[in-house]
Structure 1
Amino acid sequence: MDKVSAFGKNFTASFTPFAARTQQYVKEQLGQAEDKTQLPPDYIELEKRVDALKQVHQKMLQVTSQYSSEAYDYPANIRESFNDLGRTVTEKVHLLSSATSPAEAQAALTAPPSAKPQPKTFSHAIARASLASSQLLQQQHADATEDPLATALEKYALASERVGEARLAQDSQIQSRFLAGWSTTLNTNLMFATRARKSVENSRLLLDAAKTKATTKKGWNLPGQAGARSEGQDEENMAEEVRVEIEQAEDEFVGQTEEAVGVMKNVLDTPEPLRNLADLIAAQLEFHKKAYEILSELAPVVDGLQVEQEASYRKSRDGSD
């Protein structure tokens, strides 16, 4: 029986503040509340800055989360088979180098996978298409010499695969150094700020509910408010209880506000988001630098093949005249 009584008291103690907050909130929404305790201007300014920071994180993560999807730049209009994705371009080129007949070359292209399927990125797709195109040309090339376009396509395939691997390395860095950090800020730090602000709002509603209770009782005066005392000891004791309730609510409101200010300042002042952004840029820079280096090595080779082909073409034309 004592346990039931204790439960009832605990339930009442927890339910009463909730009911008071809810009632005060409804009154404010309906425009029936007289005075609403105003938050300090500095506090409101912090709230606006925190809201802006939250929107920034949501907007940036909405876009950059694509780095978590391997195929974010994979063409939607292409259809690659299981065999196409079975081996890397580098592996296929190695197998092709030892092929002595068209049949062996075709077998090298369709060799069973040696590991997991190859990545579905734009650069990898270009690499696979370039290698397949190279072999189509080479198989139809009757001369003993290599087709220059086929040779260039094979070299382009190898370079494109390297670019694709560099892109995957970039994505991995961005996932661990940017996306993880910004997601933590959004889902943890900013969430703490939201909870702290909610506590301030709850304590403010309780304070205003206590003030409303005091002003609706005839003869009860707020602390510091002039007016005659009501007659009767019981009524005076009840008025004193309300005053104590208001003072406690004010203390709670001030305490929650100070705590929320500290939490919001911590969220706004932390250098982590900017550090994460710097890591994002560094990963992108490293990828583009590697892609530039890879293509810079390839370009003069293909240019050389093109110059040789043009010279050969002019020579053949001159000989036929």
Structure 2
Amino acid sequence: MLRELRPFQDAVLAWYRAHRRALPWRGETDPYRILLSEVLLQQTRVEQAIPYYHRFLEAFPTLQALAEAPEEAVLKAWEGAGYYARARNLKRLAEATPHGLPRTYRELLALPGVGPYTAAAVASIAFGEPVAAVDGNVRRVLARLFAVPEPRPAWLRETAQALLAREAAGEWNQALMELGATVCTPRAPRCAACPAARWCRGRATPERYPAPKPRTARSVPAAALVLAGRAGYVLERRDGKSLGGLWGFPLAEGEAALERLQARYGVRAARRVGTVRHAFTHKKLTVAVWYARTAQAGEDPHARPLSKLDRKILALLERLPEPPAL
């Protein structure tokens, strides 16, 4: 551990106070707003999260408003932010605690969709509990600070807790996260501007720490069948962990995907109108988009919460000069 812990803490906190970004949730005291920002930032970059933060709070300004809202309205407000399980879990959490969040790390950890990082961030920032929060940015800072190529979760928790400025836990957690996000970046870190440089054992070769994790996303062919009916398009309600509760165009993956969709809807003739591509965490879809007409009623897709993939399909359709001939 660091020999000069207090000078290290003072240097990082002084840097943070002078250089922190002006973000809408900085300085916030409402635990619900702090929770929302942390949930958004789990899988969404800061610049992308800001408009969703404002939009979500405009629709659901309090936990009680969120608890009382229909799930589809919640997903519609979240539309485009991705990882929709976050929105569904926020809704469940609000239903469990409509009058206010619990104040401790342990109690927060028991809520739907709240993991160790989120519980620690909210407990420290909103309630001042001296518990360290470890996200991807903090993981990188600690791995470089101690030159550890493969930091284990237990080591990260213990190390972060040992370094914690207990009298300013929330500010300290934000300072380490900010340091990782703006200075100790994955590529081309700005070591000369780092307040922790004098203590950093990995400064000579920072990009070695932590060692990159291998990622393999398999490529999957797919087909989407756009069925133009009366007053709009035929939509399906999605299920599953990733897209459950959203709506979209009929979609199938794998070989003979179009044939399966045509059989499901009794469609004989369809015309290909384009291709869209979309990457999930574990797979990359290449979606052939087919157009057909139907006697079914259809509906306005803008009125439903759609995934990013389905919004790409809708954008493709809206770029067509006129409905395709069959």
- TM-score, normalising length from structure 2? 0.22
More strand by share: 2
The structure number with the bigger radius of gyration is 1
Kindly indicate whether structure 1 or structure 2 has the higher relative contact order, using CA contacts under 8 Å at least 6 residues apart: 1
